[in-house]
Amino acid sequence: MHARAINVQAQPGRLPELLELIRDSVGPTVKQLPGWKSVTLLADRDAERVLTVTTWDTEADARAVDGNDAARAQFARVMPLLAAPPALAIYEVIV
Protein backbone atom coordinates (compact mmCIF):
# COMPACT_ATOMS: atom_id res chain seq x y z
CA MET A 1 0.00 0.00 0.00
CA HIS A 2 1.11 3.58 -0.71
CA ALA A 3 0.13 6.99 0.63
CA ARG A 4 -0.18 10.24 -1.23
CA ALA A 5 0.40 13.25 1.03
CA ILE A 6 -0.47 16.76 -0.12
CA ASN A 7 0.46 19.69 2.11
CA VAL A 8 -1.07 23.08 1.28
CA GLN A 9 -1.16 26.60 2.67
CA ALA A 10 -4.49 28.40 2.31
CA GLN A 11 -4.67 32.04 1.39
CA PRO A 12 -5.43 34.15 4.47
CA GLY A 13 -9.05 33.72 5.51
CA ARG A 14 -9.77 31.04 2.87
CA LEU A 15 -9.28 27.92 5.02
CA PRO A 16 -13.00 27.23 5.65
CA GLU A 17 -13.72 27.43 1.92
CA LEU A 18 -10.74 25.20 1.13
CA LEU A 19 -11.78 22.55 3.65
CA GLU A 20 -15.34 22.55 2.33
CA LEU A 21 -14.15 22.15 -1.26
CA ILE A 22 -11.81 19.27 -0.36
CA ARG A 23 -14.46 17.52 1.75
CA ASP A 24 -17.43 18.00 -0.58
CA SER A 25 -15.89 17.92 -4.08
CA VAL A 26 -12.29 16.74 -4.26
CA GLY A 27 -12.71 13.86 -1.80
CA PRO A 28 -15.72 12.25 -3.48
CA THR A 29 -14.01 12.49 -6.88
CA VAL A 30 -10.77 10.90 -5.67
CA LYS A 31 -12.63 8.13 -3.82
CA GLN A 32 -13.94 6.89 -7.18
CA LEU A 33 -10.45 6.31 -8.62
CA PRO A 34 -8.98 2.82 -8.99
CA GLY A 35 -7.00 1.62 -5.98
CA TRP A 36 -8.34 4.18 -3.49
CA LYS A 37 -8.36 2.90 0.10
CA SER A 38 -8.81 5.81 2.54
CA VAL A 39 -8.45 9.52 3.18
CA THR A 40 -7.40 11.57 6.21
CA LEU A 41 -7.84 15.34 6.17
CA LEU A 42 -5.79 17.24 8.77
CA ALA A 43 -5.95 20.99 9.40
CA ASP A 44 -3.96 23.48 11.43
CA ARG A 45 -6.59 26.22 11.67
CA ASP A 46 -4.22 28.75 13.26
CA ALA A 47 -1.61 28.40 10.50
CA GLU A 48 -4.27 27.82 7.80
CA ARG A 49 -2.46 24.69 6.59
CA VAL A 50 -4.00 21.42 5.38
CA LEU A 51 -2.47 17.98 5.01
CA THR A 52 -4.45 15.45 3.01
CA VAL A 53 -3.27 11.84 3.12
CA THR A 54 -4.88 9.27 0.85
CA THR A 55 -3.93 5.62 0.73
CA TRP A 56 -3.85 3.47 -2.41
CA ASP A 57 -3.42 -0.18 -3.30
CA THR A 58 -0.23 0.47 -5.27
CA GLU A 59 2.28 3.22 -5.95
CA ALA A 60 1.03 3.31 -9.54
CA ASP A 61 -2.51 3.99 -8.29
CA ALA A 62 -1.25 6.86 -6.09
CA ARG A 63 0.65 8.41 -8.98
CA ALA A 64 -2.17 7.90 -11.50
CA VAL A 65 -4.28 10.52 -9.72
CA ASP A 66 -2.30 13.27 -11.46
CA GLY A 67 -3.28 11.92 -14.87
CA ASN A 68 -6.99 11.61 -14.14
CA ASP A 69 -9.08 14.32 -15.85
CA ALA A 70 -11.76 14.46 -13.13
CA ALA A 71 -9.16 14.77 -10.36
CA ARG A 72 -7.24 17.44 -12.28
CA ALA A 73 -10.45 19.44 -12.70
CA GLN A 74 -11.04 19.32 -8.94
CA PHE A 75 -7.45 20.30 -8.18
CA ALA A 76 -7.84 23.29 -10.52
CA ARG A 77 -10.72 24.49 -8.35
CA VAL A 78 -8.48 24.31 -5.26
CA MET A 79 -5.53 26.25 -6.68
CA PRO A 80 -7.03 29.78 -6.38
CA LEU A 81 -7.51 29.17 -2.64
CA LEU A 82 -3.82 28.41 -2.05
CA ALA A 83 -1.07 30.83 -1.01
CA ALA A 84 1.64 28.62 -2.57
CA PRO A 85 1.86 25.53 -4.79
CA PRO A 86 0.98 22.27 -3.02
CA ALA A 87 3.75 19.96 -1.80
CA LEU A 88 3.14 16.37 -2.91
CA ALA A 89 4.94 13.25 -1.69
CA ILE A 90 4.31 9.54 -2.21
CA TYR A 91 5.20 7.11 0.61
CA GLU A 92 5.17 3.39 1.08
CA VAL A 93 2.90 2.49 4.00
CA ILE A 94 4.88 0.35 6.44
CA VAL A 95 2.41 -0.06 9.34
Q: Please give the domain boundaries of the chain with CATH numbers for all domains.
A: 8-50+58-92 (3.30.70.100)
Query: How many Cα atoms within 13 Å fall on the side-chain side of residue 26?
Result: 23
- Please answer whether residues 5 and 88 qualify as being in contact, where contact means their C-beta atoms are separated by less than 8 angstroms: yes
Amino acid residing at 21: L
Which pLDDT score is estimated for 23? 94
Does residue 81 contact residue 14 with C-beta atoms inside 8 Å?
yes
pLDDT of residue 70: 93
The residue ranges of the chain whose pLDDT is under 70 are: none
